Amino acid sequence: MKISLIQSKIYWEDQVANLIHFHQLIASIKSKTDLIVLPEMFTTGFTMNPKKQAEENGSTLLWMLAEAKKKKTVLMGSVAIKEKNKYYNRLYVAYPNGKHQHYDKRHLFRMAGEDQEYTAGKNKLIIKIGKWKICPLVCYDLRFPVWSRNKFTEKGSWDYDVLIYVANWPKARAYPWEQLLIARAIENQCFVAGVNRIGKDGNGIEYSGNSTVIDAKGISLAKFKNGAPGICTVELKKNELDKFRKNFPAGLDADKFKLI
């Protein structure tokens, strides 16, 4: 499976400018890819003003579906949305056949007041692209290994093969971002992709990106230059992951647990 990560600036609270910007970036991907991943809140930046910025008309979702259809690929990214008088940091997965799924961010970043403005999600999402099972999560979720945990089933298989985090993760905490992504890959015996923004937001917070793809051994397969915009396409090989899991079956000794 080929996965394309887009590391980019985000125009502060400007949906129109961001949709034009990301349309151009998506169009610039000329090689075949199975999945394109955009950052967290890619239409606004990490806004704590959902009363003005959250969407309830589905305009960005329609845009994502159109882009997915045009590119013949799956498109993923999160958006501030309003639903039944509540606000969510919602990650959409748009498919080229016109279907979509979503995941609402579970862990809301209280240090920025996200927990005061948005409603936390309750359910994880695992999607399928071909033979691959993928679990998409959002930014602060990365710090919580229980929520991110890959379950080893009674049938002897893992819940997912790829863990993806879309983020607006500040430059000031870049080191934990990099280390936690590696830890999630190793402990869950899966590929991990982290897609972060760059630039400065409307609150003056700087972002250095540090987007990356990591294999199940914790080795980086691709890494962006700090603070630099770019698009990177990486091919993930299922046979290599299956072989590693078979030769090092740590899942057989994993602790059983249940989320309450």
Please list the active-site residues: 40, 105, 139
Are the C-beta atoms of 72 and 98 separated by less than 8 Å? no
On the CB side of 218, how many CA atoms lie within 13 Å of its CA?
8
132 vs 68: CA distance, rounded Å = 18
3-class SS shares of the chain: helix, strand, coil, % to 5: 30, 30, 40
Angle at 141 between CA 193 and CA 88, to 5 degrees: 110
User: From CA 102, how far away is CA 217, in angstroms rounded?
Assistant: 29
Taking the C-alpha atoms of residue 18 and residue 16, their distance in angstroms, rounded to an integer, is: 5
**Ordered DSSP codes for 153-210:** -TTS-BS-SEEEEEE---GGGHHHHHHHHHHHHHHHTSEEEEEE-EEE-TTS-EEE--
Helix axes of 15-27 and 59-71: crossing angle, nearest 10 degrees:
10
User: How many whole angstroms separate alpha carbon 84 and alpha carbon 63?
Assistant: 22
Report the candidate in 176, 158, 159 with the shortest Cα–Cα distance to residue 167.
Answer: 176
